[in-house]
């Protein structure tokens, strides 16, 4: 096997392994596959000559990103600059994204120092962990396709309340290293090691027996309204009245339910432009009927505009989105390029990032709010705890069409629930609207691309998980410490070897 991986077939196998990686994510959910696919990449990089290892690493990244984020083409072609722009932007984005796996695999190989066991068992897993963490904040952050998400339904997902998604990443990578070592050295020793790692992977599920949070009161009734407004019609002035009428009528049918939730930017206009003739009367009407409406709506405050979540009738309860999507909600480098990149910008112009981390209160419940893409950042969602009893994510996945992205997005939201020990309400425009329990399981969901409502009972919880306290720092520190040790140990040995011996 080592000769095959080191030869001409190695880069091809690495490409195939990269293409297999997204099958571990939703909607496929083959959580067992990423450790195997990543093991193949580890083994190829460790066994091949330098140039062939680099080629294999980059091809692995191209396959991983090319399949995993193929939905970018849909977003840009349908709702951005058109097919021509998508044909340029998508390959460029994939080529850039592939640099992250390349960096991880190449760093692990270099620090392995040509020792296959050290490389596949130690430095490659640590380098992969480090690069995943780095890309979560570098250039504003890119958390999509972090390999730990594939474990949300496996025993490894039980580490979420302790170490978050990167804790699951560690388990995947260490297991991949054991399988890679077995592929390179198919002998009893590596076989026993791989068996031990698999057993450890399974035993991690015992952590799922720990309950880090507890009910904080009785269940409350919730209705989430899925408007299913097509993305290419959402912001048209001619459709505004029909859209608002639909949400109002759907809400009236649910009056008496304590919480009625609309998705991100359900109101396709700035709040101040529809406050007097729509939002305020509706809020009064709902309050009299015993309901509170929470909606996504753009908000203007002076010269700044925000992508916000507002509790109708309670203006002090407003959350402004803090982590904006580059080229989706604002155009970076505007001072350099002017309006040249506006074709991939936000439909209402550049938004401003908010700063509020505290929960908003609606219907007597403290809600930890995230808007769309924000739910992919564990530390950001954890900011609302321990005060928040329920997590709320409003989103508009209409940008993604019928692609992998809405399923991947929901999978990441499920991980946030496990990390924090809180149930999550996820209200979306086109789906997937869902109710997620505190252990990350989907209790109820609405079908995609249908105008519908999702009714549920949700119980607020209290308590705090270790992850909420220390966030991603233990895993980042582990990666840095391991790689620093791998880098420093040879230097120490050479220095000791160069000293004169005293008899």
Percent of the residues in the chain that have a pLDDT greater than 70, as a whole number: 94
Cis peptide before 351 (omega within 30 of 0): no
How much is the pLDDT for 362? 94
Residues for the chain: how many in total?
A: 503
Percent of the residues in the chain that have a pLDDT greater than 90, as a whole number: 70
Among 229-233, 273-277, 317-321, 462-466, the least confident range: 229-233
* CA gap 491, 182 in Å, rounded: 29
How much is the pLDDT for 333? 57
Which tens digits make up the pLDDT trace of 11-50? 999 999 999 999 999 999 999 999 999 999 999 999 999 9
| 226 beta partners | 452
Lookup result for tokens 């909420």: 468
Instruction: Map 30-87 to HEC letters.
Output: CCCHHHHHHHHHHHHHHHCCHHHHHHHHHHHHHHHHHHHCCCHHHHHHHHCCCHHHHH
| pLDDT(401) > 80 | yes
Q: Extract the tokens encoding 301.
A: 């405050």
Which tens digits make up the pLDDT trace of 354-393? 998 999 999 889 999 999 999 999 999 999 999 999 999 9
* CA gap 250, 253 in Å, rounded: 5
- Rounded to the nearest angstrom, the gap between the alpha carbon of residue 405 and the centroid of all alpha carbons in its chain is 10
| pLDDT(501) > 50 | no
Instruction: Map 136-179 to HEC letters.
Output: CCHHHCCCCCCHHHHHCCCHHHHHHHHHHHHHHHHHHHHHHHHH
Is this structure's pTM higher than 0.85? yes
Phi-psi region of 298 (alpha: psi -120 to 50; beta: other; left: phi over 0): beta
How much is the pLDDT for 431? 85
What's the CATH class of domain 215-468? Answer: alpha beta
| 224 beta partners | 261, 454
More confident residue, 227 or 343: 227
Which tens digits make up the pLDDT trace of 74-122? 888 887 778 888 898 899 999 999 999 999 999 999 999 888 899 999 9
Active site residue 372: yes
User: What's the CA dihedral at 321, 327, 330, 336 to 10 degrees?
Assistant: 150
| pLDDT(56) > 50 | yes
Q: Extract the tokens encoding 435.
A: 């109710």
* CA gap 449, 464 in Å, rounded: 36
Closest to 367 in 3D by CA, of 398, 391, 338 = 391
Candidate list 372, 374, 411, 419, residue with the active-site label: 372
Lookup result for tokens 């294999």: 56
In the structure, what pLDDT confidence band is assigned to residue 192 with cuts at 50, 70 and 90? confident
How much is the pLDDT for 45? 95
Residue spans of the domains in the chain: they are 2-210+473-497, 215-468
Closest to 11 in 3D by CA, of 46, 47, 60 = 60
| pLDDT(3) > 90 | no
Q: Extract the tokens encoding 180.
A: 């890679």
Largest CA distance in the chain: 94
| pLDDT(502) > 80 | no
Q: What's the rounded mean pLDDT across residues 442-447?
A: 96
Candidate list 173, 321, 374, 419, residue with the active-site label: 321
Closest to 371 in 3D by CA, of 436, 298, 300 = 298
Closest to 383 in 3D by CA, of 362, 368, 367, 366 = 368
In the structure, what pLDDT confidence band is assigned to residue 339 with cuts at 50, 70 and 90? low
Q: Say if strands 365-371 and 214-215 run parallel, antiparallel, or are unpaired.
A: unpaired
* CA gap 347, 80 in Å, rounded: 10
Candidate list 132, 173, 234, 264, residue with the active-site label: 264
Q: Helix and strand tally (H, E) in the chain?
A: 20, 14
Active site residue 264: yes
| pLDDT(347) > 50 | no
Q: Extract the tokens encoding 502.
A: 């005293």
Contacts of 294 (CB under 8 A, 6+ apart): 259, 260, 261, 262, 309, 310, 311, 312, 360, 362, 367, 392
| pLDDT(503) > 70 | no
In the structure, what pLDDT confidence band is assigned to residue 346 with cuts at 50, 70 and 90? very low
In the structure, what pLDDT confidence band is assigned to residue 336 with cuts at 50, 70 and 90? low
What angle do the packed helices 50-68 and 83-97 form, to 10 degrees?
A: 140
Would you say 316 and 346 are in contact if contact means Cβ atoms under 8 Å apart?
A: no
How much is the pLDDT for 293? 96
Task: Return mean pLDDT, the chain.
Answer: 90
């Amino acid at each position: 096997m080592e000769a095959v991986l080191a030869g001409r077939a190695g880069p091809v196998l690495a490409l195939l392994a990269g293409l297999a990686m997204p099958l571990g994510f939703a909607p496929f959910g083959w959580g067992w596959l990423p450790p195997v696919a990543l093991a193949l990449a580890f083994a190829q990089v460790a066994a091949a000559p330098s140039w062939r290892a680099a080629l294999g690493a980059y091809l692995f990244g191209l396959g991983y990103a090319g399949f995993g984020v193929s939905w970018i083409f849909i977003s840009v072609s349908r709702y951005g600059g058109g097919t021509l722009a998508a044909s340029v932007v998508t390959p460029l984005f994939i080529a850039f994204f592939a640099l992250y796996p390349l960096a991880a695999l190449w760093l692990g190989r270099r620090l392995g120092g040509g020792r296959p066991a050290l490389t596949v068992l130690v430095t490659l897993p640590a380098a992969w962990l480090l690069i995943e963490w780095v890309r979560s904040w570098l250039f504003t952050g890119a958390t999509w396709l972090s390999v730990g998400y594939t474990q949300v339904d496996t025993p490894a997902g039980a580490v979420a309340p302790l170490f978050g998604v990167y804790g699951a990443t560690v388990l995947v990578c260490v297991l991949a290293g054991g399988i890679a070592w077995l592929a390179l050295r198919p002998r009893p020793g590596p076989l026993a090691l791989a068996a031990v790692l698999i057993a450890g992977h399974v035993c991690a599920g015992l952590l799922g027996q720990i309950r880090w949070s507890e009910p904080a009161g009785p269940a409350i009734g919730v209705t989430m309204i899925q408007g299913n407004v097509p993305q290419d019609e959402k912001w048209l002035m001619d459709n505004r009245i029909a859209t608002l009428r639909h949400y109002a009528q759907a809400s009236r049918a649910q009056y008496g339910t304590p919480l009625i939730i609309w998705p991100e930017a359900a109101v396709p206009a700035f709040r101040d432009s529809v406050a007097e003739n729509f939002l305020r009367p509706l809020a009064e009407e709902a309050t009299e009927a015993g309901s509170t409406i929470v909606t996504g709506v753009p908000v203007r405050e002076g010269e700044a505009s925000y992508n916000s979540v507002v509790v109708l009738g309670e203006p002090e309860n407003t959350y402004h989105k803090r982590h904006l999507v580059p080229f989706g909600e604002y155009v970076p480098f505007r001072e350099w390029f002017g309006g040249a990149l506006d074709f991939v910008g936000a439909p209402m112009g550049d938004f401003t990032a908010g700063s509020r981390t505290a929960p908003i209160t609606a219907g007597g419940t403290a809600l930890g709010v995230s808007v769309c893409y924000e739910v992919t950042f564990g530390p950001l969602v954890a900011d609302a705890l321990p005060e928040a009893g329920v997590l709320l994510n409003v989103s508009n996945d209409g940008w993604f069409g019928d692609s992998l992205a809405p399923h991947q997005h929901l999978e990441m939201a499920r991980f946030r629930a496990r990390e924090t020990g809180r149930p999550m309400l996820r209200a979306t425009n086109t789906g997937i609207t869902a109710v997620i329990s505190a252990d990350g399981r989907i209790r109820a969901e609405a079908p995609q691309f249908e105008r519908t409502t999702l009714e549920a009972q949700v119980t607020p919880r209290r308590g705090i998980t270790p992850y909420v306290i220390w966030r991603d720092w233990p895993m980042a520190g582990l990666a840095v410490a391991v790689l620093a040790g791998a880098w420093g140990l040879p230097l120490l040995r050479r220095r000791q070897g160069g000293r004169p011996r005293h008899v």
